[in-house]
A and B are shown apart, each in its own frame.
Chain A
Amino acid sequence: MKEFTIRKIQQSLENKEITCQKLVTSFFAKIKKDKLNNFITLFTEDALKQAQEVDQKIAQGKKLKNLEGIPVAIKDNILIKDRKATAASQILENYIATYDAQVIKKLKSAGAIFLGKTNLDEFAMGASNENSYFGPALNPHDHDRVTGGSSGGSAAAVAAQHCVFALGSDTGGSIRQPASFCGVVGFKPSYGRVSRQGLMSLASSLDQIGPLTNSVEDAVLVYNTILGKDDQDMTSMKTEKVDLSKIKKLSVKRVGIPKNYYELSIDQGIKDIFKDNIEKLKGQGLEIKEIDLSFMDEALAIYYIIQSAEASTNLARYDGLRYGKSVPAKDLTEQYINSRGLGFGKEVKRRIIMGTYVLSYGYREAYYNQAKKVQEDIKLRFDQIFQKVDAIIIPTTPSTAFKLNEKFNDPLTMYLADIFTVAVNMAGLPAISVPSGLVDNLPVGLQVLGNFKEEKKVFNLAYQMEKL
């Protein structure tokens, strides 16, 4: 995978070892050949035109911009002006975005070439990419298995060499979990680091856009390009770019791992990889401390309460009038009910029902309000942990990529696939999944968690793990 990193590709372009047109053509050819169903829309013509311009620029001896000539894939819940943006939902099947998301504007001005929009679980609800109106994306390592989700198409695209990097969105693990299943790096920044403007909202207090890449360095490069305050996202914050050379010199020493991790319900193969990596880090002089992460179970429960509550209100905008599918009806109410009934898939309906229930009169206190209190407490617990350690390492997922249809009809079992990723979102923390080994030829990712706004420490430890 390493030959497909941003700097190496740019070097090959500048040294004229390969033309940008050839590069783009070969990516499209691979997408076509692999048939992973991981793209919803391809921008063949425009991408090639842009590649031609890059080649001209190189021929003229001009220097390339930050990401110029780099072929990129974008999750289809992020808007690119005048392009379809479906969120893998029937209700937005023919919706054309009217503006560029803030992250897209930034990638455009950095010179990235968009190859297409990638498959996902409908409105980013899912952990397998099976909840897509367009059918599931397939795991490049084994076509009978899921990619993970919800950014499954993006993860598969990076893993299968369909692009150099991709953007995803992470509400409860939707970047990190598919990254782990497909064997790529997946990074979720601290909440507020990257503007959400132009990302279709799932749970606004949790959603963050982030990169899926072939290396930790690429994750830093993309993060540096897309971060920053945006006055169209009031939750975004002033953020400075991360200095790559400084990060490598940082010395993150104190690392937390879950107490009694061997008792956790994780596949044995993943436990072995985890243990092996921790031993190696210890051998390099890192101080490993056992910490209490037993609140992960409660974090999962409150995640599904808060996320479904926010989703149920956010998705109220899909009314069959302003955009998307509209079903004829005798009056306005019936039009809403029918359009939403037909336009939304099962998981989306399930979560809207769940979210409406936990917010409804008589249940709000016991579910939503209690969940918000527990969320505050989990933030506090993390804060206490980060007084003792610089970063935490845990597995990204309890299993490797599971088979298609294996968990599809059992929502709770599917939700449990998120057990190691959601706590991070509940506390707004940065986290990265780094490919760390194989079990039965399927990739396993380990996750580095840092305190709020401590991306630098997360990247440093991720670098160290990548080198193991």
Chain B
Amino acid sequence: MLKKEEIEKIANLAKIKLSSAEVEEFSGQLSVVLDYFQKIRNYDFTKGKVLSEESISELRLDEVRGFFESDLKEQFSGRSGNLLKVKKVL
């Protein structure tokens, strides 16, 4: 059972505000889902050779490319000119 305090703690870690109704609702619903996840506790692993992870990632050259800087800046919520404003960090 996922207690309400646990949901609140996790919501805080995930930086999401939840209403008390949501905390209540998620506590019940996620407990049911976590119960379902218990299926994998005693999973019967195949007695075969584990496949080696096929890596398909390749790195590209480390070179500067334009990245739509001005377009990206336009999406910023607190902006004046080239100054991107955020709330005080410290």
Contact = CB atoms under 8 A, between A and B. Distances in A.
Interface of A: 95-96, 98-99, 192, 231, 234-237, 297-298, 301-302, 304-305, 312, 316, 319-324, 326, 329-338, 340-342, 344, 346, 349-350, 352-354, 356-358, 360, 366-367, 370-371, 373-374, 376-377, 379-381, 383-384, 410-412, 415, 452
Which 5 residue pairs spanning A and B have beta carbons closest together? A341-B17, A98-B71, A326-B77, A323-B75, A332-B87
Interface string B52-90: 011011111000000010011011111000000011110
A332 B40 contact: no
A237 B39 contact: no
A410 B86 CA distance: 39
Interface string B23-65: 0001001101110110111010110111101101111100000
B16 A349 contact: yes
Contacts of B77: 320-324, 326
Nearest to A327: B17
B22 interface: yes
B40 A411 contact: no
B contact patch SS: loop
A98 B33 contact: no
A367 B50 contact: no
Contacts of A322: 72, 75-77
Nearest to A229: B58
A71 to B, nearest CB: 27
Interface residues of B, number: 50
Max count, chain A CB within 10 A of own CB: residue among B16, B17, B54, B89: B16
Contacts of A98: 68, 71-72, 74-75
Given A346-B22, A349-B22, A350-B26, A377 B45 contact: yes
A380 B48 contact: yes
Contacts, number: 152
A100 B58 CA distance: 22
B39 A297 contact: yes
Given A234-B59, A366-B41, A350 B29 contact: yes
A356 B15 CA distance: 10
Contacts of A452: 54
B60 to A, nearest CB: 4
A381 B51 CA distance: 10
Nearest to A332: B87
Nearest to A315: B14
A301 B48 contact: no
B36 to A, nearest CB: 6
Given A341-B16, A346-B22, A360 B10 contact: yes
A352 B13 CA distance: 10
A350 B88 CA distance: 29
Max count, chain B CB within 10 A of own CB: residue among A298, A357, A383: A357
Given A99-B71, A326-B78, A377-B45, 13 more contacts: A234-B59, A298-B43, A323-B76, A340-B15, A349-B11, A353-B30, A354-B30, A356-B14, A374-B43, A376-B50, A410-B29, A412-B33, A415-B36
6 contacts: A298-B39, A330-B87, A341-B17, A353-B10, A356-B13, A381-B46
Nearest to B61: A231
Given A235-B56, A322-B76, A370-B43, A349 B37 contact: no
A319 to B, nearest CB: 8
A383 B86 contact: no
A92 to B, nearest CB: 10
Given A350-B29, A377-B46, A411-B29, A301 B14 contact: no
A356 B59 contact: no
Contacts of B68: 98-99
Nearest to B39: A301
Contacts of B32: 411-412
Nearest to A190: B56
A235 B14 CA distance: 27
Contacts of A298: 39-40, 43
A367 B57 CA distance: 26
Given A350-B29, A357-B10, A360-B10, A333 B46 contact: no
B33 to A, nearest CB: 5
B15 A192 contact: no
B18 interface: yes
B56 A192 contact: yes
